[in-house]
């Protein structure tokens, strides 16, 4: 039997946010699911843009980041993120997870 770590649906659902009318996951949450650093995930996407749909990821505006930071769900985890970089939101992965 292989060592496969299953992720609960509840854990995934807690990382889905409604931004710009779309259900999205933040890059840091998607990276955590894949057990990689956020920086590595974003670099992989940038280096392989031709492999991802055009609407796979977008960067949050400063206003959107501020709104997320006011949320009780995000405040604690945001303290470790470098404030110079706004998070990216990933669309397609959420669509695949939620279908």
pLDDT digits (tens, 9 = 90+) for 15-40: 899 999 999 999 999 999 889 999 99
Threshold 0.75, pTM exceeds: no
The closest alpha carbon to 96, from 32, 46, 30, 43, belongs to 30
Q: Which residues contact 18 (CB under 8 A, 6 or more apart)?
A: 24
User: How far is the C-alpha of 25 from the C-alpha of 13, rounded, in Å?
Assistant: 9
Q: E strands along the chain, which residues?
A: 16-19, 22-26, 57-59, 88-90
Query: pLDDT band at 9, cuts 50/70/90?
Result: confident
Grouping H, G, I as helix, E, B as strand and the rest as coil, residue 48 is coil
In the chain, domain spans: 16-98
pLDDT digits (tens, 9 = 90+) for 40-78: 999 998 898 888 888 888 999 989 988 887 774 544 555
Cα 70 off chain centre by:
18
């Amino acid at each position: 039997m292989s060592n496969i770590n299953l992720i609960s649906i509840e854990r995934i659902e807690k990382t889905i946010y409604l931004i710009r009318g779309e259900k999205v996951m933040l890059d840091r949450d998607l990276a955590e699911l894949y057990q990689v650093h956020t920086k590595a995930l974003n670099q992989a996407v940038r280096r392989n843009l031709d492999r991802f749909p055009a609407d796979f990821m977008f960067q949050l505006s400063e206003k959107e980041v501020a709104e997320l930071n006011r949320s009780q769900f995000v405040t604690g985890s945001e303290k470790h993120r470098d404030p110079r970089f706004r998070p990216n939101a990933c669309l397609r992965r959420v669509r695949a997870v939620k279908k």
